[in-house]
Structure 1
Protein backbone atom coordinates (compact mmCIF):
# COMPACT_ATOMS: atom_id res chain seq x y z
CA UNK A 1 0.00 0.00 0.00
CA UNK A 2 1.09 3.58 -0.63
CA UNK A 3 2.67 5.47 2.21
CA UNK A 4 0.56 8.52 3.09
CA UNK A 5 3.07 9.97 5.53
CA UNK A 6 3.03 13.76 5.29
CA UNK A 7 -0.41 13.83 3.71
CA UNK A 8 -3.50 15.35 5.30
CA UNK A 9 -6.84 13.57 4.89
CA UNK A 10 -10.20 15.10 5.80
CA UNK A 11 -12.92 12.50 6.31
CA UNK A 12 -16.46 13.77 6.84
CA UNK A 13 -18.95 11.77 8.87
CA UNK A 14 -15.95 10.08 10.49
CA UNK A 15 -17.47 9.75 13.95
CA UNK A 16 -18.90 6.30 13.28
CA UNK A 17 -19.55 3.55 10.75
CA UNK A 18 -17.78 3.59 7.41
CA UNK A 19 -16.39 7.07 8.00
CA UNK A 20 -14.65 5.99 11.20
CA UNK A 21 -13.09 3.06 9.35
CA UNK A 22 -11.89 5.42 6.60
CA UNK A 23 -10.24 7.55 9.26
CA UNK A 24 -8.51 4.52 10.79
CA UNK A 25 -7.37 3.31 7.38
CA UNK A 26 -5.74 6.59 6.37
CA UNK A 27 -4.15 7.03 9.79
CA UNK A 28 -2.79 3.50 9.59
CA UNK A 29 -1.07 4.45 6.35
CA UNK A 30 0.62 7.46 7.90
CA UNK A 31 -1.68 10.36 7.02
CA UNK A 32 -2.76 12.98 9.51
CA UNK A 33 -6.52 12.47 9.61
CA UNK A 34 -9.01 15.20 10.34
CA UNK A 35 -11.99 13.43 11.88
CA UNK A 36 -14.86 15.68 10.80
CA UNK A 37 -18.36 15.14 12.12
CA UNK A 38 -21.35 17.05 13.44
CA UNK A 39 -21.24 14.86 16.56
CA UNK A 40 -18.39 16.26 18.69
CA UNK A 41 -18.27 13.35 21.13
CA UNK A 42 -18.17 10.71 18.38
CA UNK A 43 -15.46 12.56 16.46
CA UNK A 44 -13.38 12.99 19.62
CA UNK A 45 -13.66 9.27 20.40
CA UNK A 46 -12.38 8.25 16.96
CA UNK A 47 -9.58 10.81 17.17
CA UNK A 48 -8.55 9.47 20.57
CA UNK A 49 -8.59 5.89 19.27
CA UNK A 50 -6.32 6.79 16.36
CA UNK A 51 -3.85 8.68 18.52
CA UNK A 52 -3.72 5.91 21.12
CA UNK A 53 -3.00 3.46 18.29
CA UNK A 54 0.03 5.49 17.25
CA UNK A 55 -1.52 7.56 14.48
CA UNK A 56 -2.01 11.29 14.16
CA UNK A 57 -5.46 12.86 14.05
CA UNK A 58 -7.43 15.93 15.00
CA UNK A 59 -11.13 16.66 15.39
CA UNK A 60 -13.22 19.12 13.41
CA UNK A 61 -16.87 19.65 14.29
CA UNK A 62 -19.28 21.27 11.83
CA UNK A 63 -22.44 20.67 9.79
CA UNK A 64 -21.71 19.98 6.12
CA UNK A 65 -25.13 21.38 5.21
CA UNK A 66 -23.72 24.81 6.19
CA UNK A 67 -21.54 26.22 3.39
CA UNK A 68 -19.80 28.76 5.63
CA UNK A 69 -19.04 26.09 8.23
CA UNK A 70 -17.49 23.87 5.55
CA UNK A 71 -15.30 26.71 4.30
CA UNK A 72 -14.21 27.62 7.82
CA UNK A 73 -13.49 23.97 8.63
CA UNK A 74 -11.33 23.43 5.55
CA UNK A 75 -9.49 26.73 6.02
CA UNK A 76 -8.72 25.75 9.62
CA UNK A 77 -7.28 22.43 8.46
CA UNK A 78 -4.96 24.13 5.97
CA UNK A 79 -3.93 26.75 8.54
CA UNK A 80 -3.17 24.09 11.12
CA UNK A 81 -1.74 21.29 8.98
CA UNK A 82 -0.39 23.15 5.96
CA UNK A 83 -2.43 21.35 3.31
CA UNK A 84 -5.47 19.29 2.47
CA UNK A 85 -4.40 16.42 0.25
CA UNK A 86 -7.31 13.98 0.48
CA UNK A 87 -10.97 14.87 0.88
CA UNK A 88 -13.25 11.94 1.61
CA UNK A 89 -16.88 13.07 1.39
CA UNK A 90 -18.51 10.33 3.41
CA UNK A 91 -21.07 12.24 5.50
CA UNK A 92 -24.67 11.77 4.39
CA UNK A 93 -28.23 11.57 5.60
CA UNK A 94 -28.56 7.82 6.02
CA UNK A 95 -29.33 6.60 9.53
CA UNK A 96 -32.28 8.97 9.96
CA UNK A 97 -33.79 8.81 6.51
CA UNK A 98 -37.26 7.36 6.05
CA UNK A 99 -38.42 4.81 3.48
CA UNK A 100 -41.62 5.69 1.66
CA UNK A 101 -43.13 5.65 -1.82
CA UNK A 102 -42.51 8.72 -3.93
CA UNK A 103 -45.76 10.58 -3.33
CA UNK A 104 -45.52 10.12 0.43
CA UNK A 105 -41.98 11.36 0.95
CA UNK A 106 -42.13 14.31 3.31
CA UNK A 107 -40.94 17.52 1.69
CA UNK A 108 -38.70 18.22 4.66
CA UNK A 109 -37.05 14.81 4.23
CA UNK A 110 -36.65 15.42 0.48
CA UNK A 111 -34.98 18.76 1.14
CA UNK A 112 -32.76 17.35 3.88
CA UNK A 113 -31.40 14.73 1.45
CA UNK A 114 -30.54 17.51 -0.98
CA UNK A 115 -29.01 19.73 1.72
CA UNK A 116 -26.73 17.06 3.17
CA UNK A 117 -26.04 14.49 0.46
CA UNK A 118 -25.77 16.84 -2.52
CA UNK A 119 -25.11 20.34 -1.24
CA UNK A 120 -22.93 19.16 1.64
CA UNK A 121 -20.69 17.23 -0.74
CA UNK A 122 -20.49 20.24 -3.03
CA UNK A 123 -19.74 22.65 -0.18
CA UNK A 124 -16.81 20.53 0.95
CA UNK A 125 -15.44 20.24 -2.59
CA UNK A 126 -15.91 23.96 -3.13
CA UNK A 127 -13.98 24.75 0.02
CA UNK A 128 -11.11 22.35 -0.69
CA UNK A 129 -10.58 22.97 -4.41
CA UNK A 130 -8.77 26.36 -4.16
CA UNK A 131 -6.27 24.90 -1.71
CA UNK A 132 -5.70 21.82 -3.87
CA UNK A 133 -5.23 23.99 -6.95
CA UNK A 134 -2.53 26.01 -5.18
CA UNK A 135 -0.79 22.76 -4.22
CA UNK A 136 -1.11 21.34 -7.72
CA UNK A 137 -2.33 18.12 -6.12
CA UNK A 138 -5.45 16.68 -4.59
CA UNK A 139 -7.55 13.55 -4.30
CA UNK A 140 -11.30 13.83 -3.79
CA UNK A 141 -13.40 10.73 -3.18
CA UNK A 142 -17.15 11.22 -3.00
CA UNK A 143 -19.40 8.59 -1.50
CA UNK A 144 -22.29 7.56 -3.72
CA UNK A 145 -24.26 4.35 -3.21
CA UNK A 146 -24.98 1.12 -5.05
CA UNK A 147 -28.64 2.06 -4.57
CA UNK A 148 -28.36 4.23 -7.68
CA UNK A 149 -28.22 0.97 -9.65
CA UNK A 150 -30.55 -1.13 -7.51
CA UNK A 151 -33.35 1.49 -7.54
CA UNK A 152 -34.79 0.33 -4.24
CA UNK A 153 -38.54 1.17 -3.95
CA UNK A 154 -39.18 3.65 -1.17
CA UNK A 155 -35.72 5.18 -1.47
CA UNK A 156 -36.19 7.68 -4.31
CA UNK A 157 -34.95 10.66 -2.28
CA UNK A 158 -31.77 8.93 -1.11
CA UNK A 159 -30.94 7.22 -4.41
CA UNK A 160 -31.60 10.45 -6.32
CA UNK A 161 -29.18 12.35 -4.11
CA UNK A 162 -26.50 9.70 -4.51
CA UNK A 163 -26.93 9.70 -8.30
CA UNK A 164 -26.36 13.46 -8.23
CA UNK A 165 -23.07 12.82 -6.43
CA UNK A 166 -21.92 10.74 -9.42
CA UNK A 167 -22.71 13.54 -11.87
CA UNK A 168 -20.91 15.99 -9.58
CA UNK A 169 -17.91 13.67 -9.45
CA UNK A 170 -17.62 13.32 -13.21
CA UNK A 171 -18.04 17.04 -13.86
CA UNK A 172 -15.46 18.00 -11.25
CA UNK A 173 -13.06 15.39 -12.64
CA UNK A 174 -13.11 17.13 -16.02
CA UNK A 175 -12.71 20.58 -14.49
CA UNK A 176 -9.93 19.70 -12.06
CA UNK A 177 -7.79 17.23 -13.99
CA UNK A 178 -5.58 19.99 -15.46
CA UNK A 179 -4.70 21.05 -11.91
CA UNK A 180 -3.42 17.66 -10.78
CA UNK A 181 -6.61 16.86 -8.87
CA UNK A 182 -8.48 13.59 -9.33
CA UNK A 183 -12.12 13.16 -8.39
CA UNK A 184 -13.62 9.69 -8.06
CA UNK A 185 -16.51 8.06 -6.26
CA UNK A 186 -17.15 4.87 -4.35
CA UNK A 187 -20.59 3.25 -4.30
CA UNK A 188 -20.97 0.86 -1.36
CA UNK A 189 -23.75 -1.68 -1.23
CA UNK A 190 -25.24 -3.07 1.98
CA UNK A 191 -22.57 -2.50 4.62
CA UNK A 192 -22.90 -3.85 8.15
CA UNK A 193 -22.98 -0.74 10.32
CA UNK A 194 -25.29 0.53 13.04
CA UNK A 195 -26.59 3.12 10.61
CA UNK A 196 -27.51 0.46 8.07
CA UNK A 197 -29.35 -1.62 10.66
CA UNK A 198 -31.26 1.50 11.75
CA UNK A 199 -32.05 2.72 8.24
CA UNK A 200 -32.61 -0.30 6.02
CA UNK A 201 -35.66 -2.56 6.41
CA UNK A 202 -34.79 -6.13 7.41
CA UNK A 203 -36.33 -7.51 4.21
CA UNK A 204 -34.08 -5.31 2.08
CA UNK A 205 -31.05 -6.53 4.01
CA UNK A 206 -32.12 -10.15 3.62
CA UNK A 207 -32.60 -9.83 -0.14
CA UNK A 208 -29.33 -7.95 -0.45
CA UNK A 209 -27.32 -10.72 1.15
CA UNK A 210 -29.18 -13.44 -0.74
CA UNK A 211 -28.57 -11.70 -4.06
CA UNK A 212 -24.85 -11.12 -3.59
CA UNK A 213 -22.59 -13.46 -5.58
CA UNK A 214 -20.14 -13.31 -2.68
CA UNK A 215 -22.96 -14.41 -0.37
CA UNK A 216 -22.50 -12.01 2.52
CA UNK A 217 -23.12 -8.50 3.71
CA UNK A 218 -20.26 -6.03 3.34
CA UNK A 219 -18.17 -4.56 6.13
CA UNK A 220 -16.51 -1.13 6.45
CA UNK A 221 -13.15 -2.86 6.04
CA UNK A 222 -14.27 -3.96 2.57
CA UNK A 223 -14.70 -0.36 1.45
CA UNK A 224 -11.84 1.51 3.11
CA UNK A 225 -9.03 -0.06 1.02
CA UNK A 226 -10.88 0.95 -2.15
CA UNK A 227 -11.03 4.57 -1.01
CA UNK A 228 -7.38 4.35 0.00
CA UNK A 229 -6.51 3.05 -3.46
CA UNK A 230 -8.26 6.00 -5.12
CA UNK A 231 -5.98 8.32 -3.15
CA UNK A 232 -2.82 6.32 -3.88
CA UNK A 233 -0.20 6.75 -6.55
CA UNK A 234 -1.59 3.62 -8.17
CA UNK A 235 -4.78 5.48 -9.05
CA UNK A 236 -3.00 8.57 -10.32
CA UNK A 237 -4.33 8.04 -13.85
CA UNK A 238 -7.92 7.42 -12.74
CA UNK A 239 -10.49 10.19 -12.48
CA UNK A 240 -14.24 10.49 -12.94
CA UNK A 241 -14.72 6.84 -12.01
CA UNK A 242 -17.27 5.12 -9.77
CA UNK A 243 -16.09 1.96 -8.01
CA UNK A 244 -18.97 -0.22 -6.82
CA UNK A 245 -18.29 -2.22 -3.64
CA UNK A 246 -21.38 -4.38 -3.13
CA UNK A 247 -20.35 -8.01 -3.33
CA UNK A 248 -21.36 -8.18 -6.99
CA UNK A 249 -25.08 -7.46 -6.58
CA UNK A 250 -24.95 -4.70 -9.18
CA UNK A 251 -22.61 -4.94 -12.16
CA UNK A 252 -22.99 -1.70 -14.10
CA UNK A 253 -21.45 -1.81 -17.55
Structure 2
Protein backbone atom coordinates (compact mmCIF):
# COMPACT_ATOMS: atom_id res chain seq x y z
CA UNK A 1 0.00 0.00 0.00
CA UNK A 2 3.03 2.31 -0.17
CA UNK A 3 2.35 5.64 -1.86
CA UNK A 4 5.47 5.11 -3.97
CA UNK A 5 3.34 2.74 -6.01
CA UNK A 6 0.58 5.26 -6.53
CA UNK A 7 0.02 8.50 -8.41
CA UNK A 8 -1.48 11.70 -7.08
CA UNK A 9 -3.28 13.80 -9.70
CA UNK A 10 -3.22 17.51 -8.96
CA UNK A 11 -5.27 19.76 -11.22
CA UNK A 12 -4.29 23.38 -11.82
CA UNK A 13 -0.76 22.72 -10.58
CA UNK A 14 1.09 24.62 -13.29
CA UNK A 15 1.16 28.06 -11.66
CA UNK A 16 4.57 28.67 -10.07
CA UNK A 17 3.17 30.40 -6.97
CA UNK A 18 -0.03 28.41 -6.69
CA UNK A 19 -1.42 26.02 -4.10
CA UNK A 20 -1.51 23.25 -6.72
CA UNK A 21 2.21 23.23 -7.43
CA UNK A 22 3.09 23.48 -3.74
CA UNK A 23 0.78 20.53 -3.08
CA UNK A 24 2.34 18.49 -5.88
CA UNK A 25 5.78 19.12 -4.37
CA UNK A 26 4.59 18.24 -0.86
CA UNK A 27 3.04 14.98 -2.04
CA UNK A 28 6.12 14.08 -4.07
CA UNK A 29 8.31 14.75 -1.02
CA UNK A 30 6.61 11.88 0.82
CA UNK A 31 6.83 9.50 -2.13
CA UNK A 32 3.78 10.03 -4.33
CA UNK A 33 4.25 9.96 -8.09
CA UNK A 34 2.67 13.04 -9.58
CA UNK A 35 0.42 13.90 -12.53
CA UNK A 36 0.17 17.64 -13.09
CA UNK A 37 -2.90 18.73 -15.05
CA UNK A 38 -3.11 22.36 -16.09
CA UNK A 39 -4.80 24.42 -18.77
CA UNK A 40 -1.29 25.64 -19.66
CA UNK A 41 0.56 22.68 -21.19
CA UNK A 42 3.98 24.35 -20.96
CA UNK A 43 3.57 25.15 -17.27
CA UNK A 44 2.31 21.63 -16.56
CA UNK A 45 5.35 20.03 -18.17
CA UNK A 46 7.74 22.45 -16.48
CA UNK A 47 6.20 21.68 -13.10
CA UNK A 48 6.46 17.93 -13.66
CA UNK A 49 10.12 18.19 -14.64
CA UNK A 50 10.85 20.27 -11.54
CA UNK A 51 9.04 17.79 -9.29
CA UNK A 52 10.73 14.71 -10.76
CA UNK A 53 14.19 16.24 -10.45
CA UNK A 54 13.70 17.53 -6.92
CA UNK A 55 12.03 14.48 -5.38
CA UNK A 56 13.17 11.54 -7.53
CA UNK A 57 9.63 10.36 -8.27
CA UNK A 58 7.83 9.79 -11.55
CA UNK A 59 6.00 12.89 -12.73
CA UNK A 60 4.09 13.77 -15.87
CA UNK A 61 2.71 17.16 -16.87
CA UNK A 62 -0.22 17.41 -19.23
CA UNK A 63 -2.22 20.22 -20.73
CA UNK A 64 -5.82 19.58 -19.71
CA UNK A 65 -8.98 21.65 -19.83
CA UNK A 66 -11.06 20.09 -17.06
CA UNK A 67 -14.23 21.69 -18.44
CA UNK A 68 -13.81 19.57 -21.59
CA UNK A 69 -14.64 15.88 -21.07
CA UNK A 70 -12.57 14.71 -24.03
CA UNK A 71 -9.55 16.67 -22.76
CA UNK A 72 -9.89 14.99 -19.36
CA UNK A 73 -10.18 11.56 -20.97
CA UNK A 74 -7.04 12.11 -23.05
CA UNK A 75 -5.03 13.27 -20.04
CA UNK A 76 -6.13 10.34 -17.91
CA UNK A 77 -5.41 7.87 -20.71
CA UNK A 78 -1.89 9.28 -20.96
CA UNK A 79 -1.11 8.84 -17.27
CA UNK A 80 -2.63 5.36 -17.16
CA UNK A 81 0.08 4.12 -19.49
CA UNK A 82 2.93 6.19 -18.04
CA UNK A 83 2.38 6.23 -14.27
CA UNK A 84 1.23 3.93 -11.44
CA UNK A 85 -2.53 3.84 -10.65
CA UNK A 86 -4.17 6.96 -9.24
CA UNK A 87 -4.42 6.86 -5.45
CA UNK A 88 -5.15 10.53 -4.83
CA UNK A 89 -6.94 13.33 -6.64
CA UNK A 90 -6.60 16.95 -5.61
CA UNK A 91 -9.28 19.08 -7.25
CA UNK A 92 -7.32 22.31 -7.11
CA UNK A 93 -8.02 23.90 -10.51
CA UNK A 94 -10.36 26.84 -10.16
CA UNK A 95 -11.17 30.37 -11.16
CA UNK A 96 -12.28 33.26 -9.02
CA UNK A 97 -14.66 36.11 -9.77
CA UNK A 98 -15.00 39.29 -7.70
CA UNK A 99 -17.92 40.67 -9.73
CA UNK A 100 -20.82 41.86 -7.51
CA UNK A 101 -24.11 40.02 -7.95
CA UNK A 102 -25.93 43.01 -9.42
CA UNK A 103 -23.31 43.14 -12.18
CA UNK A 104 -22.69 39.46 -12.87
CA UNK A 105 -24.13 38.01 -16.07
CA UNK A 106 -25.05 34.45 -17.02
CA UNK A 107 -21.87 33.95 -19.03
CA UNK A 108 -19.65 34.81 -16.05
CA UNK A 109 -21.75 32.65 -13.72
CA UNK A 110 -21.44 29.67 -16.07
CA UNK A 111 -17.68 30.22 -16.49
CA UNK A 112 -17.08 30.06 -12.76
CA UNK A 113 -19.25 26.97 -12.29
CA UNK A 114 -17.78 25.27 -15.38
CA UNK A 115 -14.29 25.18 -13.88
CA UNK A 116 -14.95 24.89 -10.17
CA UNK A 117 -17.91 22.50 -10.21
CA UNK A 118 -18.34 20.82 -13.60
CA UNK A 119 -14.57 20.53 -14.02
CA UNK A 120 -14.22 18.79 -10.66
CA UNK A 121 -17.07 16.47 -11.64
CA UNK A 122 -15.54 15.66 -15.04
CA UNK A 123 -12.32 14.34 -13.55
CA UNK A 124 -13.62 12.91 -10.27
CA UNK A 125 -16.22 10.73 -11.97
CA UNK A 126 -13.48 9.16 -14.11
CA UNK A 127 -10.90 8.66 -11.36
CA UNK A 128 -13.04 7.40 -8.46
CA UNK A 129 -14.22 4.12 -10.13
CA UNK A 130 -10.62 2.91 -10.40
CA UNK A 131 -9.96 3.86 -6.79
CA UNK A 132 -13.05 1.90 -5.73
CA UNK A 133 -11.90 -1.11 -7.71
CA UNK A 134 -8.48 -1.01 -6.02
CA UNK A 135 -9.94 -0.34 -2.55
CA UNK A 136 -8.02 2.85 -1.85
CA UNK A 137 -8.45 6.52 -2.68
CA UNK A 138 -7.98 10.02 -1.36
CA UNK A 139 -9.94 12.92 -2.88
CA UNK A 140 -9.47 16.51 -1.73
CA UNK A 141 -11.42 19.53 -2.97
CA UNK A 142 -9.99 23.05 -2.78
CA UNK A 143 -12.95 25.12 -1.66
CA UNK A 144 -12.68 28.53 0.00
CA UNK A 145 -13.51 30.45 3.14
CA UNK A 146 -15.80 32.44 0.80
CA UNK A 147 -18.07 29.38 0.64
CA UNK A 148 -18.46 29.41 4.41
CA UNK A 149 -18.72 33.09 5.23
CA UNK A 150 -20.38 34.24 2.00
CA UNK A 151 -17.56 36.05 0.17
CA UNK A 152 -16.06 39.16 1.66
CA UNK A 153 -12.43 38.25 1.01
CA UNK A 154 -11.96 38.33 -2.75
CA UNK A 155 -14.62 36.23 -4.46
CA UNK A 156 -18.12 37.41 -5.23
CA UNK A 157 -21.43 35.53 -5.25
CA UNK A 158 -20.65 33.28 -8.23
CA UNK A 159 -17.35 32.17 -6.72
CA UNK A 160 -18.83 31.66 -3.25
CA UNK A 161 -21.71 29.64 -4.65
CA UNK A 162 -19.42 27.45 -6.75
CA UNK A 163 -17.05 26.80 -3.87
CA UNK A 164 -20.02 25.97 -1.62
CA UNK A 165 -21.17 23.47 -4.25
CA UNK A 166 -17.81 21.74 -3.90
CA UNK A 167 -18.42 21.29 -0.17
CA UNK A 168 -21.72 19.51 -0.82
CA UNK A 169 -20.07 17.46 -3.57
CA UNK A 170 -17.29 16.34 -1.21
CA UNK A 171 -19.58 15.45 1.68
CA UNK A 172 -22.03 13.45 -0.40
CA UNK A 173 -19.24 11.64 -2.23
CA UNK A 174 -17.62 10.82 1.12
CA UNK A 175 -20.85 9.07 2.21
CA UNK A 176 -21.05 7.02 -0.96
CA UNK A 177 -17.40 6.09 -1.40
CA UNK A 178 -16.26 5.27 2.14
CA UNK A 179 -17.21 1.63 1.70
CA UNK A 180 -14.57 1.38 -1.03
CA UNK A 181 -11.68 2.67 1.06
CA UNK A 182 -11.97 6.17 -0.38
CA UNK A 183 -11.93 9.31 1.75
CA UNK A 184 -13.20 12.65 0.46
CA UNK A 185 -12.45 15.91 2.21
CA UNK A 186 -12.38 19.63 1.47
CA UNK A 187 -9.94 22.37 2.37
CA UNK A 188 -11.19 25.94 2.68
CA UNK A 189 -8.28 28.41 2.54
CA UNK A 190 -8.62 32.05 3.59
CA UNK A 191 -6.35 34.78 2.26
CA UNK A 192 -3.39 32.94 0.71
CA UNK A 193 -0.47 34.62 -1.06
CA UNK A 194 -0.82 33.29 -4.63
CA UNK A 195 -0.96 34.63 -8.18
CA UNK A 196 -4.77 34.69 -8.02
CA UNK A 197 -4.81 37.62 -5.59
CA UNK A 198 -1.42 39.12 -6.48
CA UNK A 199 -1.86 42.76 -7.53
CA UNK A 200 -5.64 42.56 -7.22
CA UNK A 201 -5.88 43.74 -3.62
CA UNK A 202 -4.85 47.28 -2.72
CA UNK A 203 -2.24 47.54 0.07
CA UNK A 204 -4.91 49.13 2.24
CA UNK A 205 -7.40 46.32 1.64
CA UNK A 206 -4.75 43.65 2.23
CA UNK A 207 -3.70 45.32 5.50
CA UNK A 208 -7.35 45.48 6.52
CA UNK A 209 -7.82 41.77 5.86
CA UNK A 210 -4.64 40.77 7.70
CA UNK A 211 -5.71 42.92 10.68
CA UNK A 212 -8.62 40.53 11.06
CA UNK A 213 -6.41 37.42 11.13
CA UNK A 214 -5.55 36.34 14.70
CA UNK A 215 -2.17 34.87 13.72
CA UNK A 216 -1.26 38.21 12.13
CA UNK A 217 -0.34 37.23 8.60
CA UNK A 218 -1.76 35.99 5.35
CA UNK A 219 -1.40 32.31 4.54
CA UNK A 220 1.20 30.66 2.33
CA UNK A 221 0.72 27.91 -0.22
CA UNK A 222 2.69 25.61 2.08
CA UNK A 223 0.14 26.08 4.87
CA UNK A 224 -2.46 24.55 2.57
CA UNK A 225 -0.25 21.98 0.83
CA UNK A 226 0.87 20.41 4.12
CA UNK A 227 -2.73 19.84 5.19
CA UNK A 228 -3.69 18.28 1.86
CA UNK A 229 -0.69 15.96 2.08
CA UNK A 230 -1.82 14.89 5.55
CA UNK A 231 -5.31 14.10 4.26
CA UNK A 232 -3.85 11.96 1.47
CA UNK A 233 -1.89 9.70 3.83
CA UNK A 234 -2.86 6.06 4.15
CA UNK A 235 -3.04 6.67 7.91
CA UNK A 236 -5.78 9.28 7.41
CA UNK A 237 -8.33 6.69 6.36
CA UNK A 238 -10.77 7.50 9.19
CA UNK A 239 -11.04 11.17 8.22
CA UNK A 240 -13.70 11.81 5.62
CA UNK A 241 -16.51 14.23 4.80
CA UNK A 242 -14.72 17.02 6.65
CA UNK A 243 -14.00 20.64 5.66
CA UNK A 244 -10.71 21.94 7.01
CA UNK A 245 -10.31 25.69 7.46
CA UNK A 246 -6.89 27.19 6.73
CA UNK A 247 -7.38 30.86 7.49
CA UNK A 248 -5.27 31.77 10.51
CA UNK A 249 -8.43 32.17 12.59
CA UNK A 250 -9.93 34.86 10.36
CA UNK A 251 -13.16 32.86 10.20
CA UNK A 252 -13.93 30.93 13.38
CA UNK A 253 -17.30 29.22 13.48
Give the TM-score normalised by the residue count of structure 2.
Answer: 0.92
Gapped regions of structure 2 (runs ≥ 5): none
Q: Quick one: which of 62, 75, 78 aligns to 2:77? A: 75
Deviation at 1:78, TM superposition (A): 2.4
Q: Which residue of 2 aligns with 1:49?
A: 50
What is the Cα deviation at residue 40 of structure 1? Answer: 1.1
Partner of 1:137: 136
Unaligned residue ranges in structure 1 (runs of 5+): none
Task: Note the aligned Cα RMSD (angstroms).
Answer: 1.8
Partner of 1:88: 90
1:126-148 per-position Cα deviation (integer Å, ceiling 9, x unaligned): 01011111111110001100111
Gap change, CA 1:214 and 1:53, over 3 Å in 2: same
Q: Assess if the C-alpha contact under 8 Å between 1:3 and 1:29 holds in 2.
A: no
- The offset of 1:208, in angstroms, is 2.2
Shift of 1:218: 0.3
CA distance in 1, matches of 2:202, 2:68: 30
Partner of 2:157: 156
- Say which SS state the counterpart of residue 5 (structure 2) adopts: coil
Q: Deviations 1:59-90 (Å, cap 9, x if unpaired)?
A: 12110111222233223322322410000000
Match in the other structure for 2:104: 105
Is residue 13–residue 92 contact of structure 2 (8 Å, CA) maintained in 1? yes
Q: How many angstroms apart in 2 are the aligned matches of 1:12 and 1:201? A: 29
| Equivalent-residue separation in structure 1 for 2:182 and 2:103 (angstroms) | 41
Counterparts of 1:144 and 1:199, CA distance in 2 = 20
Q: Are 1:224 and 2:225 counterparts?
A: yes
CA contact (8 A) 1:32 1:55 kept: no
Structure 1 contact 9–31 (Cα < 8 Å) conserved: yes
SS of the residue 2:89 aligns to: strand
List 4+ stretches of structure 1 deviating above 3 A. 198-204
Larger mean Cα displacement after TM superposition, 113-122 or 152-161 = 152-161
Match for residue 248 of structure 2? 247
CA distance in 2, matches of 1:106, 1:201: 25
**Which range moved further: 100-109 or 199-208?**
199-208
Per the normalisation by structure 1, the TM-score is 0.92
Flag the 1:203–1:100 CA change in 2: closer, same or farther, 3 A.
farther
User: Which residue in 2 is equivalent to 1:64?
Assistant: 66
